[in-house]
Amino acid sequence: MIEIRDLHKSFGPLEVLKGINLRLEHGKVLVIIGPSGSGKTTLLRCFNLLELPDQGILTVAGTEIRFAEKAKIPRKTVLGLRQKTGMVFQSYNLFPHMTALGNVMEGQITVQRRSREEARSRGLELLGKVGLSDKAEAYPHQLSGGQQQRVAIARAMAVEPEVLLFDEPTSALDPELVGEVLKVIRQLASEGMTMVIVTHEMKFAADVADLIVLMDQGFILEQGSPQQVLKQSQNPRVRQFLNRLSGDEQ
């Protein structure tokens, strides 16, 4: 379960998150949408403390952390939370000197202290899960963008997180490669993986989300089911954003 209460985050004088409240049950998928600069990625990065909130309460997979201005969070707490979350970035962030399999093995060996044999077995299993069994010995530069992103998903899953976080996982891909990545994410959703996804893919959001949050200027303007947010919202700003996005996609 994920719960956020009165979460605030500023960068200098710029307040990016202005009192965020939301709750996501275990096994559900939260999709965060909104215009550029609305605070979507900052909120996502707060889930695993890549950004430290200034104020509020964050609960992820049984770990509750209370934030106050200038209060330090113990390193042990930060590392413990990150072991419960897997992050998939829009730019892949694979180790270029390691094969696909090596990338998936690395976290298992360094973080979970698994043997190389165990990490290799789990790595091959996960590469198969994302449809890349035949690319285990390929290096990132030998893979397409879609293949690299699927390796990144396998790597995030390898440490057996309780929550997967996706920061616009298809934004760096050519249009013809987007589908193969979304297919993997849909499969994870069908298996009951708890996920938080920032995306501009509205059709995908409608298909995969249990809860959609629409952000603007650091606030949550609307949250609810895909039907409630994408079809039934009466908020003029929400309708304006969705209509503009729909026009862009046509």
Spell 182-212 as b/e; 16+ CB within 10 A means b.
bebbeebbeeebbbbbbbbbbebbbebbbbb
Q: Can you say whether the dihedral through the CA atoms of 21, 27, 31, 32 is positive or negative?
A: positive
Position 14 pLDDT exceeds 60: yes
Position 250 pLDDT exceeds 60: no
Is 224 inside any structural domain?
no
Is 225 inside any structural domain?
no
Q: Is the separation of the CB atoms in 35 and 238 below 8 Å? A: no
Is 149 inside any structural domain?
yes
**What's the CA gap between 217 and 164, in Å, rounded?**
25
Question: Of the candidates 42, 60, 58, which has an alpha carbon nearest to the alpha carbon of residue 50?
Answer: 42
DSSP-assigned beta bridge partners for residue 67: 56
Rounded to two decimals, the pTM is: 0.92
Is 155 inside any structural domain?
yes
Is 248 inside any structural domain?
no
Is 245 inside any structural domain?
no
Q: What is the pLDDT of residue 149?
A: 95
**What's the CA gap between 46 and 131, in Å, rounded?**
30
Is 203 inside any structural domain?
no
Is 148 inside any structural domain?
yes
* H and E: helices and strands count for the chain: 9, 10
Q: For residue 114, what are the domain limits? A: 89-160
Tell me the pLDDT tens digit for each residue of 37-93: 999 999 999 999 999 999 999 999 889 999 997 788 999 999 889 889 999 998 888
Tell me the pLDDT tens digit for each residue of 203-234: 899 999 999 999 999 999 999 999 999 999 99
For 47, the token pair is 């889930």
Q: Count up the domains in the chain and report the number.
A: 1
